[in-house]
Amino acid sequence: MSLTRAARRPRAKKEKSLVEDVIAALEAGKPVRREFEGGRLHIDRPQPFLFLHVGDPEKHVVAREVASANASHLVTAEIDDAVALLGPIAGILRKAFGTFVLVDIDELERDRLLSDDAPFLQPFEVTLSATRGLAANRAVKAFGAAVKAFEARFRTPHVDLCEAQEDPCARPELLKLRLPLLTLRFAPIYRVTGSDATYPDLRERLVGNFLDAGLQAVAAFLDADGFPKPVTYRAFGRKAFVDAVERADRGMDDVASSFDFLLCVTPINANAAWKEFKANHHDKPPRFLYRPLSLLVEREKRRLYSISLDHLEDPVLHQIYREKQQELDLQLTLIGHREKARFVEFGRALYGPVEPSLLKAAREVLDGTGEASRISALASDDDVVDCFFVEHRARSMMADYQRRHEGFDASIELRDDVPPGLLVSGPRLLISRRTRMMRQRVDALLSHEVGVHLLTYFNGSAQGLRVFRTGLAGYEGMQEGLAVFAEFLAGGFTPERLRLLAARVIGCDLMLSGASFVESFRHLTDRYGFDAETAFGLLLRVFRGGGLAKDAIYLRGLLSLLSHFKGGGALDPFWMGKISAADFTVMEELGARGLLKAPVLRPLCLETERGRARLERARDGLTPLAMLEA
């Protein structure tokens, strides 16, 4: 007996054992995750398709990543291993679903359409083929249409469609299986010519685009073959997180939990600073004092970038965590530059400038509510409540939420080291002991802080990944827009409140334009009639840390939300966790894939007849000024 034949026997036994294990799992409707020499089989739930990549793991990396990003995939170095597994797997899945399609993904050896002397970047080569049959024909056409629709950045695809028998790239070994087969080959345009280096942004774009196109092709095949149509083709995507996602999530949350950005940059001597500013007849800028920092910025950044995002196997989640990593980096940079000249520019990078359209909207609000400050001055002391009244009402509201969901485990702290008002930090509601407010505003403000900020924290906690409670990158704008809208639904959205939000935009614009604290103070009091203490409190927030443009996001977020409603947008995905407007489609996709749950809680203000009526008014189209009359 030859050595070769003897060596094959142990391998054959292993293959047989693997196949038996996989068949048993699939017949029981269980997920499959098997690593073997040179490859991996992953089926997070039985489905009537499988994506395949065969090749060296170090060579055609994008093709491997596209295949691996799917809920059902096989990646292997050897075609023989693929054939040994595919026949039994396809038989089980076709028996269960009545249909099955295999998608083979690989790269061409070189970028044949690119030449060194071209005056522009030429299209790149993509070949697609399919076995005969109506369903496969529709699938390959859908595949081609989706690929052709790639965003025309860098290079556009040139797509060739053909039958599998005419495609030199179609593997004969797979054709012999007589399975419906789609074959994709594309030029490796993500590689730097003549080098082992890659273009990272282009690489990620290719993975995301080919993943999406492949799912569209599968959906077209299954639809043509009579398979029940899902709400969206993205429902065929992953429904389970791999361990690498959970490790990255825990690591990112550990870094995010090591500091509270707003507390780090908010003065602790608000009352003393106001008294000093008043004593100086509003002519000298106040001196702000800050908490000593308990974190070492450089150490936290090292922790942050030690978190690996290389093996998440899901382009959507990879993008979420990469953007969150960048946002945490910027927040840490800001903390490290507190009270330094460059703080304001890093703040501009985090929260953006005050765009002309936002500034125009703020001025329109202030010009349209000129009487509000005079009316407010007529309020009696009986209409004003203190921090203890607010605390009592907060505990009552929290109890209502906890009765609906026992996981709503929020706490309240009365604090002397925060400015007048309320602040949410993680699962805590912080109330300044100096808080005094109009009685009619209490429930509205609690709807803002408890009914949105705390609610989305605990809803995000229920999603299984901590990033949804910490907040996706850029979430604060929409979060504050939702919170202000909740004040409206609760019936406590007043002209004074709207004027304050607009004045914050003016204050941020003045600060970013180089105006001093005193100059900005005079502008708000002289031009817009704000009383001295209100203007001071507003500008304390704007000039904290050295100048932070965060407060422009309240009106910006509200305008974005009203535009979302006018366009027919839904509201529920915003309650799933702390997300930005840009993440809305991402949340819908993750929800369709079963990776996210429906919100366990919804704001109490939506349970009232008044709240529901006002929401319908918003769907018909409202401006901030019109909200005052609704």
Contact predicate 43/106, CB 8 Å: no
Which two three-digit tokens encode residue 105? 């993904």
- Average pLDDT, integer, range 454-481: 96
Higher pLDDT, 232 or 519: 519
Q: What is the pLDDT of residues 544-580, one digit of tens each?
A: 999 999 999 999 999 999 999 998 988 988 999 999 9
What are 118's strand-pairing partners?
A: none
Give the position of tokens 């690996």.
308
Tell me, yes or no, whether 303 lies in a domain: no
Q: How far apart are CA 87 and CA 23, in angstroms?
A: 11
Pair (225, 368) in one structural domain: no
Look at the chain and count its residues. Answer: 630
Kindly report the CATH number assigned to the domain that includes residue 207: 3.40.630
pLDDT at residue 372 greater than cutoff 60: no
pLDDT at residue 112 greater than cutoff 80: no
Q: Model confidence at 195, in pLDDT bands (50, 70, 90)?
A: confident
The pLDDT > 90 percentage for the chain reads 79
- Domain holding 442, by residue range, is 355-627
- Average pLDDT, integer, range 246-274: 96
Backbone phi and psi for residue 437, each to the nearest 5 degrees, phi listed first: -150, 165
Give the position of tokens 């602790």.
268
Residue at which a domain ends, from 176, 199, 233: 233
- Average pLDDT, integer, range 216-230: 95
Q: Model confidence at 15, in pLDDT bands (50, 70, 90)?
A: low
C-beta neighbour count of 302 within 10 angstroms = 11
Which two three-digit tokens encode residue 504? 């914050």
Tell me, yes or no, whether 479 lies in a domain: yes
- Tell me the residue type at 161: L
pLDDT at residue 605 greater than cutoff 50: yes
The DSSP-derived string for 250-310 is HHHHHHHTT--HHHHHS-S-HHHHHHHHHHTTT-SPPPP--PPP-S-HHHHHHHHHTS--T
- Average pLDDT, integer, range 50-73: 95
Tell me, yes or no, whether 261 lies in a domain: no
Q: What is the pLDDT of residues 509-551, one digit of tens each?
A: 999 999 999 999 999 999 999 999 999 999 999 999 999 999 9
- Average pLDDT, integer, range 488-500: 95
Q: Model confidence at 374, in pLDDT bands (50, 70, 90)?
A: low
Query: Measuring CA to CA, how many Å separate 624 from each of 53, 60, 230, 479, 581?
Result: 53, 53, 38, 17, 18
Which two three-digit tokens encode residue 449? 């802080």
Tell me, yes or no, whether 334 lies in a domain: no
Tell me, yes or no, whether 450 lies in a domain: yes
Pair (361, 220) in one structural domain: no
Which two three-digit tokens encode residue 118? 């071209």
Residue at which a domain ends, from 233, 256, 290: 233
Q: What is the pLDDT of residue 375?
A: 47
Which two three-digit tokens encode residue 402? 């906890």
Q: What is the pLDDT of residue 593?
A: 86
Contact predicate 442/516, CB 8 Å: no
Q: Model confidence at 378, in pLDDT bands (50, 70, 90)?
A: very low
Q: How far apart are CA 64 and CA 62, in angstroms?
A: 5
- Average pLDDT, integer, range 282-300: 95
pLDDT at residue 100 greater than cutoff 80: yes
What are 181's strand-pairing partners?
A: 102
- Separation of first and last alpha carbons in the chain: 90
Pair (229, 359) in one structural domain: no
Higher pLDDT, 115 or 580: 580
Q: What is the pLDDT of residues 127-146, one digit of tens each?
A: 999 999 999 999 999 999 99
Q: What is the pLDDT of residue 370?
A: 79
Total structural domains within the chain: 2
Q: How high is the mean pLDDT of the chain?
A: 92
Pair (397, 532) in one structural domain: yes
Tell me, yes or no, whether 68 lies in a domain: yes
Residue at which a domain ends, from 180, 199, 233: 233
Pair (407, 541) in one structural domain: yes
Pair (227, 373) in one structural domain: no
pTM for the predicted model, two decimal places: 0.86
**Count of CA atoms in the C-beta half-sphere (13 A) of 525:** 15
Q: What is the pLDDT of residues 27-42, one digit of tens each?
A: 998 999 999 888 999 9
Q: What is the pLDDT of residue 120?
A: 59
Q: What is the pLDDT of residues 174-194, one digit of tens each?
A: 999 999 999 999 999 998 887
Q: What is the pLDDT of residue 322?
A: 95
The DSSP-derived string for 325-368 is HHHHHHHHHHHHTTTSTTHHHHHHHHH----HHHHHHHHHHHHH
**Count of CA atoms in the C-beta half-sphere (13 A) of 276:** 11
Tell me, yes or no, whether 461 lies in a domain: yes
Tell me, yes or no, whether 160 lies in a domain: yes
- Average pLDDT, integer, range 421-435: 95
Backbone phi and psi for residue 438, each to the nearest 5 degrees, phi listed first: -65, 135
